[in-house]
C-alpha cells in the first residue's frame, strides 16, 4: 500500500489538541484528504482548523460520519468514551479505519469500533510536544509505536512514513512497558533536571541561572549518549568508584535537601550497574557504594 492508495481515504481528526492538530497538518501536507476536524470548544476548533483544514465540528459523531478514516487524538481517558459514542451513533461503518494515538492505551480502547466492523490500530509518536509548532517540527524523524491487527498493519506503516516517522511494532500486552520507557526518557528526564535546578537554587542561583549553569553539561552528556551509548557515556564518581564522594553527596542531601535523597540513592544504585558494564567500577566498590546508598 502506498500514499496514493491511502489518499482515497477521507480523514476526520477527533480532538484538536497539540498532537491531533500537528498530525492533521502533516497528513494534509502529505496529500491526505482531511474532511473534518472536531473539538470540544469553538476556541480549540478555530485555532486547530487553520492547521488541519477540513470542516469544523463540535459534534464528534457528525465529524466521524464524513470520513472513512477516523483518528482519535483526545486525552487518553476520553478515547474509549469517544469511540463508544461514535460507534453507537452509527458513525463507524464496516471497513472504516479507526486509530488512536495513546502511548499506554491498547486496542481495547477501540473495541466498540471493532465490533462495528472497523479496522483498528494505535499509532503513537515517541516524542514530547510543548506546543503545536514544536509538534510539527519534531514529529518527522520520530519513532512511532504501532499496535494493530494484520489487516491494517501495512496501512499503519505507510501513515507513519508519510508523517516522516520510523515504524516500530509493539504488542498490545507490551504497551504499558513501552510507554513506561517513554516516560522515563522524557518525563523523568525533566524531573532529574528539576532536581539539579533545585539544588543550585538552594545555593543561591535563580532558576534561569541554574538552567544556564547545567545546560552545557546536559547537552554534552546527551551528545555523548548519542555517539557512544549510555554505558560508555557514563562519567562521574560512581563510574570512578569514588565512594568517598558519594558519601559526601548523601550526607549533604540528608542535611539540606532530604526529600531528594531517596531519588539520588535509587539512581546511584542503578548507575552502579552501568559502571560495572563499563568495567571502570569493580564489583567490590560497587557493593560498597550500594551499601552506602541503601
CATH number of 258's domain? 1.10.1040
**Claim to verify: residue 134 and residue 228 sit in the same structural domain:** no
**Claim to verify: residue 208 and residue 97 sit in the same structural domain:** no
Residue 3: what pLDDT?
Answer: 54
Residue 235: what pLDDT?
Answer: 96
**Claim to verify: residue 169 and residue 189 sit in the same structural domain:** no
Residue 40: what pLDDT?
Answer: 86
Residue 7: what pLDDT?
Answer: 59
Q: Enumerate the β-bridge partners of residue 145.
A: 124, 168
Query: Going residue by residue through the chain (294 aa), what tens digit of pLDDT does each one get?
Result: 555 555 568 999 999 989 999 999 999 999 999 999 998 888 888 888 999 999 999 999 999 999 999 999 999 999 999 999 999 999 999 999 999 999 989 999 999 999 999 999 999 999 988 888 989 999 999 999 999 988 999 999 999 999 999 999 999 999 999 999 999 999 999 999 999 999 999 999 999 999 999 999 999 999 999 999 999 999 999 999 999 999 999 999 999 999 999 999 999 999 999 999 999 999 999 999 999 998
Catalogue the long-range contacts made by 169-175 (C-beta closer than 8 Å, 24 or more residues apart): 169/145, 170/145, 170/146, 171/147, 172/106, 172/107, 172/108, 172/147, 173/106, 175/103, 175/104, 175/105, 175/106, 175/122, 175/145, 175/147
With respect to residue 20, please indicate whether it lies within any of the assigned structural domains.
yes
Which distant-in-sequence residues (6+ apart) come within 8 Å of 47 by Cβ?
16, 21
With respect to residue 138, please indicate whether it lies within any of the assigned structural domains.
yes
**Claim to verify: residue 54 and residue 153 sit in the same structural domain:** yes
**Claim to verify: residue 57 and residue 122 sit in the same structural domain:** yes
**Claim to verify: residue 121 and residue 197 sit in the same structural domain:** no
Residue 128: what pLDDT?
Answer: 86
Helix axes 261-278, 243-256, angle to 10 degrees: 170
Domain count, the chain: 2
C-alpha cell at 61: 459523531
Residue 42: what pLDDT?
Answer: 87
With respect to residue 69, please indicate whether it lies within any of the assigned structural domains.
yes
First to last CA, the chain: 55
Residue 5: what pLDDT?
Answer: 57
With respect to residue 180, please indicate whether it lies within any of the assigned structural domains.
no
Q: What is the CATH number of the domain that holds 29?
A: 3.40.50.720
Residue 2: what pLDDT?
Answer: 53
With respect to residue 265, please indicate whether it lies within any of the assigned structural domains.
yes
Catalogue the long-range contacts made by 157-163 (C-beta closer than 8 Å, 24 or more residues apart): 158/1, 158/2, 158/3, 158/6, 159/6, 159/27, 159/123, 160/123, 162/3, 162/6, 162/26, 162/27, 162/30, 162/32, 163/23, 163/26, 163/27, 163/30, 163/125, 163/139
**Claim to verify: residue 116 and residue 141 sit in the same structural domain:** yes
With respect to residue 133, please indicate whether it lies within any of the assigned structural domains.
yes
Q: Of 119, 149, 173, which marks where a domain is finished?
A: 173
Q: How far apart are CA 28 and CA 9, in angstroms?
A: 12
Q: Look at the block and give the residue holding cell 481528526.
A: 13
With respect to residue 178, please indicate whether it lies within any of the assigned structural domains.
no
Q: How far apart are CA 5 and CA 7, in angstroms?
A: 5
**Claim to verify: residue 63 and residue 155 sit in the same structural domain:** yes
**Claim to verify: residue 205 and residue 107 sit in the same structural domain:** no
Containing domain of residue 268, as a range? 185-293
**Claim to verify: residue 224 and residue 82 sit in the same structural domain:** no
Its pTM stands at: 0.85
**Claim to verify: residue 196 and residue 155 sit in the same structural domain:** no
Q: Of 173, 195, 225, which marks where a domain is finished?
A: 173
**Claim to verify: residue 143 and residue 191 sit in the same structural domain:** no
With respect to residue 179, please indicate whether it lies within any of the assigned structural domains.
no
What are the helix (H) ranges across the chain?
A: 3-6, 18-29, 42-52, 60-65, 76-88, 111-115, 132-138, 153-162, 175-185, 187-202, 207-228, 230-233, 237-240, 243-256, 261-278, 283-293
Kindly tell me the burial class for residue 224, based on how many C-beta atoms sit within 10 Å of its own C-beta (0-12, 13-18, 19 or more).
middle
Backbone angles phi, psi at 8, to 5 degrees: -70, -20
Q: Of 142, 173, 204, which marks where a domain is finished?
A: 173
Amino acid at each position: 500500500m502506498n500514499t496514493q492508495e491511502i489518499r482515497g481515504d477521507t480523514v476526520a481528526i477527533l480532538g484538536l489538541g497539540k498532537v491531533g492538530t500537528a498530525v492533521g497538518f502533516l497528513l494534509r501536507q502529505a496529500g491526505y484528504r482531511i474532511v473534518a476536524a472536531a473539538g470540544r470548544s469553538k476556541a480549540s476548533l478555530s485555532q486547530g482548523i487553520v492547521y488541519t483544514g477540513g470542516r469544523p465540528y463540535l459534534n464528534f459523531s457528525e465529524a466521524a460520519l464524513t470520513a472513512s478514516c477516523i483518528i482519535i487524538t483526545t486525552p487518553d481517558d476520553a478515547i474509549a468514551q469517544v469511540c463508544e459514542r461514535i460507534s453507537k451513533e452509527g458513525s463507524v461503518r464496516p471497513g472504516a479505519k479507526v486509530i488512536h494515538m495513546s502511548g499506554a492505551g491498547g486496542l481495547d480502547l477501540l473495541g466498540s469500533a471493532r465490533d462495528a466492523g472497523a479496522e483498528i490500530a494505535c499509532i503513537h509518536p515517541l516524542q514530547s510536544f510543548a506546543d503545536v509548532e514544536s509538534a510539527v517540527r519534531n514529529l518527522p524523524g520520530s519513532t512511532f509505536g504501532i499496535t494493530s491487527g494484520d489487516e491494517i498493519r501495512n496501512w499503519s506503516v505507510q501513515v507513519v512514513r508519510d508523517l516522516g516517522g520510523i515504524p516500530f511494532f509493539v504488542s498490545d500486552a507490551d504497551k504499558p512497558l513501552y510507554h513506561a520507557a517513554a516516560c522515563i526518557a522524557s518525563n523523568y528526564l525533566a524531573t532529574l533536571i528539576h532536581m539539579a535546578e533545585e539544588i543550585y537554587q538552594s545555593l543561591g542561583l535563580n532558576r534561569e541561572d541554574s538552567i544556564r549553569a547545567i545546560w552545557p553539561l546536559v547537552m554534552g552528556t546527551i551528545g555523548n549518549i548519542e555517539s557512544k551509548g549510555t554505558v560508555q557515556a557514563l562519567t562521574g564518581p560512581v563510574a570512578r568508584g569514588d565512594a568517598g564522594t558519594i558519601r559526601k553527596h548523601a550526607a549533604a542531601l540528608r542535611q539540606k535537601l532530604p526529600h531528594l535523597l531517596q531519588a539520588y540513592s535509587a539512581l546511584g544504585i542503578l548507575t552502579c550497574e552501568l559502571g560495572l558494564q563499563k568495567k571502570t567500577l569493580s564489583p567490590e566498590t560497587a557493593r560498597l557504594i550500594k551499601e552506602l546508598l541503601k
